[in-house]
C-alpha cells in the first residue's frame, strides 16, 4: 500500500488505541449493561443509589398545608385557582415549617403574568386562561392589591 494511505490509517488506529486506554482509566468500573439487559441501555449501577439519596423537595399535597393554613386552603378550593398546587406559587415545602420556617410569598406582577399575560399567538391550552395586557391592565400596581390570589373573583371588582 502507498504511504498516503498508510499514514492516515496509522493515525486512526492510534486514535482508537488512545480512546481505549483513556476508557480504562476514566469509565467507572460499574458502567455497563446490568441485570435488565438493554432495557435501560448503558449506565453506572451506583447511579441508582445516588438518585435514591436525592431528596424530593415538594410535598405535592394541599391537604398537608390545610392542617396549619386552613383558611387559605378553604378559600382556594372554592375558587378558580383550585387546580393550582400551593407549592406552584410558594415554592418547595420540604422541611417547612421548621426549615424553612416560612415559604416565599411572591407578590410581583410577573408571578401572576406567567399564567395571565394574554398570548398574542394562542396555540396551547394556556391560552384558555383569562389573559390581560400587562401594559394596559393597571400597570405599576401589584395584582394582589385588587385580586385575592387564594380566591380570585371578578365579582365586586367593577
Ligand atoms: C405544621 C404546620 C404547617 C404546615 C403543615 C404548613 N405550614 Fe406554612 N407556616 C407555618 C408556620 C408556623 C409559619 C410561620 C408563620 C409566621 O411566622 O408568620 C408558616 C408560614 C408560611 C408562609 C409564609 C407566610 C408569611 O406571611 O410570610 C407560607 C407562604 C406558607 N407557610 C405556606 C405553606 C404551604 C404552601 C404549605 C403546604 C405545602 C404549608 N405552609 C404547610 C406552619 C405550617
Ligand atoms: C396563584 C398563586 C398562589 C397559590 C396557588 C397559593 N398562594 Fe398563598 N399567596 C400567594 C400570594 C401572591 C400571597 C401574598 C398575598 C398578599 O400579600 O396579598 C400569598 C400569601 C400566602 C400566605 C401568607 C398570607 C396569608 O394569607 O396568610 C400563606 C400562609 C399562604 N399564601 C398559603 C397558601 C396555601 C396553604 C396555599 C394552598 C392551599 C396557597 N397559599 C396557594 C399566592 C398563591
Ligand atoms: C399557574 C397558573 C396561574 C397563576 C400563577 C395565577 N393564576 Fe389566576 N387563574 C389561573 C386559572 C387556570 C384560572 C381559571 C381559569 C380562568 O378563569 O381563566 C385563573 C383565574 C384567575 C382570575 C379570574 C377569576 C374568575 O372569577 O374568573 C383572576 C382575577 C386571577 N386568576 C388572578 C390571578 C392573580 C392576581 C395571580 C397572581 C397572584 C394569579 N391569578 C396567578 C391560573 C393562574
Ligand atoms: C387596580 C386594581 C387591579 C389591578 C392592580 C389588577 N387588576 Fe385585574 N382586574 C381588575 C378589575 C376591576 C377587573 C374586572 C374588569 C376588567 O376586566 O377590567 C379585572 C380583571 C382581571 C381579569 C379577568 C379578565 C377577563 O378577561 O375577564 C384577570 C385575569 C386579571 N384581572 C388579572 C390581573 C393580573 C394578572 C394583574 C397583575 C398583572 C391584575 N389583574 C391587576 C382590577 C385590577
CA distance 144 to 114: 15
Is the distance from the beta carbon of residue 59 to the nearest atom of ligand 1 less than 6 Å? Answer: yes
Say what the pLDDT of residue 51 is: 92
C-alpha cell at 96: 417547612
Say what the pLDDT of residue 63 is: 82
Question: How far, in Å, is the centroid of ligand 2 from the Cα of 14?
Answer: 63
Burial (0-12, 13-18, 19+ Cβ within 10 Å), 87: buried
Question: How far, in Å, is the centroid of ligand 2 from the Cα of 57?
Answer: 19
Say what the pLDDT of residue 7 is: 94
C-alpha cell at 146: 385588587
Residue 45 gets the label, from left (phi > 0), alpha (psi -120 to 50) or beta, of alpha
Is the distance from the beta carbon of residue 96 to the nearest atom of ligand 1 less than 6 Å? Answer: yes
Provide the sign of the torsion angle of the four alpha carbons 52, 68, 155, 142, taken in this order: negative
Task: Give the residue, by CA position, lying nearest to ligand 2 atom 3.
Answer: 89
Alpha-carbon dihedral of residues 103, 105, 106, 112, nearest 10 degrees? 100
Which one of 81, 118, 132, 155 would you pick to mutate in the ligand 4 pocket, going by the greatest count of ligand atoms within 8 A of its CB?
132
Separation of CA 15 from chain center: 41
Closest by Cα among 84, 95, 83 to 58: 95
Is the distance from the beta carbon of residue 117 to the nearest atom of ligand 2 less than 6 Å? Answer: no
Say what the pLDDT of residue 158 is: 57
- Residues in contact with ligand 4 (CB, 6 Å cut-off): 109, 112-113, 116, 130, 132, 134, 137-138, 141, 143, 145-147, 154, 157-158
Say what the pLDDT of residue 54 is: 86
Tens-digit pLDDT string for the chain (158 aa): 788 999 999 999 999 999 999 999 999 999 999 988 888 889 999 999 999 998 888 887 768 899 999 999 999 999 999 999 999 999 999 889 999 999 999 999 999 999 999 998 888 899 999 999 999 999 999 999 999 999 998 887 75
Amino acid at each position: 500500500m502507498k504511504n498516503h494511505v498508510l499514514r492516515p490509517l496509522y493515525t486512526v488506529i492510534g486514535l482508537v488505541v488512545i480512546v481505549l486506554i483513556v476508557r480504562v482509566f476514566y469509565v467507572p468500573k460499574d458502567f455497563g449493561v446490568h441485570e435488565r439487559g438493554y432495557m435501560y441501555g448503558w449506565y453506572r449501577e451506583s447511579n441508582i443509589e445516588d438518585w435514591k439519596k436525592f431528596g424530593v423537595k415538594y410535598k405535592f399535597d394541599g391537604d398537608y398545608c390545610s392542617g396549619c393554613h386552613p383558611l387559605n386552603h378553604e378559600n382556594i378550593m372554592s375558587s378558580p385557582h383550585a387546580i393550582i398546587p400551593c407549592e406552584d406559587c410558594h415554592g418547595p415545602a420540604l422541611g417547612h415549617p421548621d426549615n424553612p420556617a416560612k415559604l416565599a410569598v411572591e407578590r410581583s406582577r410577573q408571578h401572576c403574568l406567567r399564567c395571565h399575560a394574554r398570548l398574542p399567538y394562542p396555540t396551547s391550552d394556556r391560552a384558555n386562561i383569562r389573559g390581560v395586557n400587562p401594559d394596559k391592565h393597571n400597570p405599576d400596581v401589584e395584582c394582589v392589591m385588587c385580586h385575592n390570589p387564594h380566591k380570585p373573583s371578578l365579582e365586586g371588582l367593577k
